[in-house]
Amino acid sequence: MNYKQPLELNGLLLQLDLFLRGNLPPFWASLIEGLLILIAVLAAYAVIALILIYAERKVTAFFQARLGPNRVGKYGFIQSIADMIKILIKEIIHINRVDRFLFYAAPFFVICASVMAFGAIPFGQGLQAVDFNIGIVYVLAVSSLGIIGVLLAGWSSNNKYSMIGAMRSGAQFISYELSAAFALMTIVVMTGTMQLSEIVENQRYAWNIFNGHIPAIVAFVIYLISGHAETNRAPFDLPEAEGELTAGYHTEYSGMQFGFYYLAEYLNMFIIAAIATTVFLGGWMPIQIKGMDAFNQIMWYIPSYVWFIGKTAVLVFISLWVRWSFPRLRIDLLLNLEWKYLLPINLVNILIMVLIVLAGWTLTDLFPILFGN
């Protein structure tokens, strides 16, 4: 069944591709396309960060019964743009007796890892920069590089606060990375593919979280917890616990170097939410009910990227909600949570998922008339 999709961008992109390939030799065409994609990804990265910073400040303010930014522009809309300009023109303070090369290289590790993971996210139909066969593993692989930047920043700053923050961050990240990966693998067991586009396509009538019912919901919750911990945000913000460590690993950074860490933190939050959306909540796929073509057509009129952003926004909101609802954990409690609870639960969960898939108890297997592709 082909539905009308008037607002999709893939037709436009196809035209652009054909135009470039028709008029240029293949080398220049791929080069220009690569550059265009790079610019688009970086622009989206910056814009999403600005929106997230504004949203976070506003939501935080409402949680704390304040108004939040409301002076620059209507409702403070332009506040984060003003902040961006401010941080861009700030002086970068040179610290004495740091390891210069590592000190200046560290923010780039963090930001590169984050941009690379960001590039693989399917934002909508045809709006995916690279669609690897190993999609999920790729995202896990490149996002694991960010921690090196944090460790280096902590060491090269020549500051005890930074060092302790970096060590805590390292321990935390390595631990929770395991849980995040296992939670995603649970879904890979169910869908039988790691390619993000195929995972989205498989969720046409039943989102994975419903399709795999109990183990999928457990995996979803574990993924959200461990993803939240990976981004170093409260209640898992020990690495930068301001009461004890001033600002943790980025204490000595100033100006745009600090800005990189700040950007990466927000974008990592977005990436976690986006991956969770793609893997568990159907990605950019509109809500569809098998057999009800009129309803489906109405749903398809809403473009896929709006669906994607909407679902992601809900998860981002949950992340902010958690941040302002729970107190900070102690480091031993934090590691206990991962190694004594989440990881064993996760391993058992994968086994349950394997049994469910083998027994044919997923929703698509049980009710092929309602949910089968």
d(CA 159, CA 171): 19
Least separation in angstroms between CB 164 and another protein: 11
- Tell me whether residue 36 or residue 217 sits nearer to another protein (CB atom): 36
Cβ at position 212, least distance to another protein in Å = 18
Contacts of 164 (CB under 8 A, 6+ apart): 154, 245, 248
What are the Cα distances from residue 315, in Å, to 102, 271, 309, 321? 35, 11, 10, 10
Q: Write down the least CB distance from residue 214 to another protein, Å.
A: 24
Minimum CB separation from another protein for residue 98, in Å?
A: 10
| CA Rg value for the chain | 22
DSSP code, position 337: I
State the Cα–Cα distance between residues 275 and 333, nearest whole angstrom. Answer: 27
- Chain residues that interact with another protein, rule: CB under 8 A: 27, 30-31, 99, 101-102, 105, 132-134, 137-138, 140-142, 144-145, 147-148, 151-152, 155, 158, 163, 166-167, 170-171, 174, 177, 192-195
- Complex with another protein: residue 294 or 358, whichever CB lies closer: 358
How far is it, in rounded angstroms, from Cα 279 to Cα 297?
Answer: 24
Minimum CB distance to another protein smaller for 208 or for 304: 208
d(CA 153, CA 131): 32
Closer residue to another protein, CB minimum distance, 105 or 352: 105
Q: Cβ closer to another protein: 143 or 257?
A: 143
In angstroms, what CA-CA distances link 185 with 80, 134, 309, 330, 335? 37, 12, 24, 29, 21
Nearer to another protein, 61 or 148 (CB): 148
Min dist CB 73 to another protein, Å, is 41
User: What's the closest the beta carbon of residue 104 comes to another protein, in angstroms?
Assistant: 12
Q: Which is nearer to another protein, 27 or 243 (CB)?
A: 27
Q: 71, 69, 34, 39: which is closest to 55 by C-alpha? A: 69
What contacts 143, CB < 8 A, 6 or more positions away? 113, 114, 116, 117, 230, 268, 271
Distance CA(373)–CA(364), nearest Å, equals: 8
Task: Report the residue number, 52 or 194, with the smaller CB distance to another protein.
Answer: 194
Contact 232, 148 (CB under 8 A): no
In the complex, minimum distance from the CB of residue 224 to another protein, in angstroms, rounded to a whole number: 21
Tell me how far, at minimum, the Cβ of 113 lies from another protein, in Å.
9
